[in-house]
């Protein structure tokens, strides 16, 4: 068995639905996988309080980090406060198999340090504009999984989900993209299944996964990925 839990970083712009996605993932996975969560806010503990209020995990398995600085710094540049929070959570809630680390609301340039997250999910939403995948950036191009969230809102905000999927595929090559809404089936199931697969690979490899985000921005601009 691996010496520590698989760590998955979840980033994305403010309002893209990161906390709601994490809540849905915890509901789906907590019955079969030992899960913990570390949230990041600059000045508050709002995201952690939301998750605790939702009752998705035991309160002690949800740890809040107040970074007091730019979200990029706390997940990419100086990860000390997050790394300590993850390690303390794993120690206090032992055993854990999976730790989800939620970034504070960031922008398209944000990416997790590989010393903090083994693999990364980047979340955008249709309300942010259907040109976001074309704008690119490390989160769009290099995250191990890209989630296009809130597809149910597309008709109301004038976004074209199919265009977003096509543009994301053009940017990401063979890296996966999932478009979903947490308001209707299959809810977060495509993401939870992807996480199960990552965890299985992590365990099989004895605690090692190579994140696509650690490569160069154009490393994965290869073959179209079917959805």
> Closest Cα partner for 177 from 209, 214, 114, 220?
220
**What's the mean pLDDT in 47-51?**
96
Question: What is the model's pLDDT at position 218?
Answer: 40
Q: What is the mean pLDDT of residues 40-54?
A: 94
Mean pLDDT of the chain: 91
Q: pLDDT > 70: what percent of the chain?
A: 94
Answer whether residue 212 shows pLDDT above 90: no
Encode pLDDT of 159-197 as tens digits: 999 999 999 999 999 999 999 999 999 999 999 999 999
Q: Is the pLDDT of residue 219 over 50?
A: no
Instruction: State the angle between helix axes of 18-29 and 46-54 in degrees (0 to 180), rounded to the nearest 10.
Output: 40
Q: For residue range 75-133, list pLDDT tens digits in order.
A: 999 999 999 999 999 999 989 999 999 998 777 888 999 999 999 999 999 999 999 99
Alpha-helical (H) ranges within the chain are: 18-29, 46-54, 71-72, 80-92, 132-135, 138-142, 154-157, 161-172, 189-204
pLDDT over threshold 80, residue 216:
no
CB count in 10 Å sphere of residue 151: 19
Closest by alpha carbon to 10, among 155, 158, 186, 191? 191
What are the sequence ranges of the domains in the chain? 6-207
CATH number of 6-207: 3.40.50.300
Query: Binning pLDDT at 50, 70 and 90, where does residue 215 land?
Result: low
Decide if 86 contacts 116 (C-beta within 8 A).
yes
**Residue 68 confidence (pLDDT):** 86
């Amino acid at each position: 068995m691996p010496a520590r839990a698989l760590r998955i970083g979840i980033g994305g712009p403010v309002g893209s639905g990161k906390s709601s996605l994490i809540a849905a993932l915890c509901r789906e996975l907590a019955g079969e996988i030992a899960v913990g969560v570390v949230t990041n806010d600059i000045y508050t503990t709002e995201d952690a309080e939301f998750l605790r209020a939702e009752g998705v995990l035991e309160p002690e398995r949800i740890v809040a980090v107040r970074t007091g600085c730019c979200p990029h710094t706390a997940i990419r540049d100086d990860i000390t406060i997050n790394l300590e929070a993850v390690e303390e959570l794993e120690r206090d809630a032992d055993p854990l198999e999976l730790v989800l680390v939620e970034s504070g609301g960031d922008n398209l340039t944000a990416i997790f340090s590989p010393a903090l997250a083994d693999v990364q999910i980047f979340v955008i939403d249709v309300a942010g504009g259907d040109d976001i995948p074309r704008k690119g950036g490390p989160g769009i191009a290099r995250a191990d999984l890209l989630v296009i969230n809130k597809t149910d809102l597309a008709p109301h905000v004038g976004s074209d989900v199919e265009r977003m999927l096509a543009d994301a595929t053009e940017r990401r090559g063979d890296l996966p993209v999932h478009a979903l809404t947490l308001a209707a089936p299959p809810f977060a199931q495509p993401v939870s299944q992807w996480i199960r697969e990552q965890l299985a690979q992590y365990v099989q490899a004895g605690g090692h996964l190579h994140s696509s985000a650690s490569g160069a921005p154009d490393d994965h601009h290869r073959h179209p990925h079917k959805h």
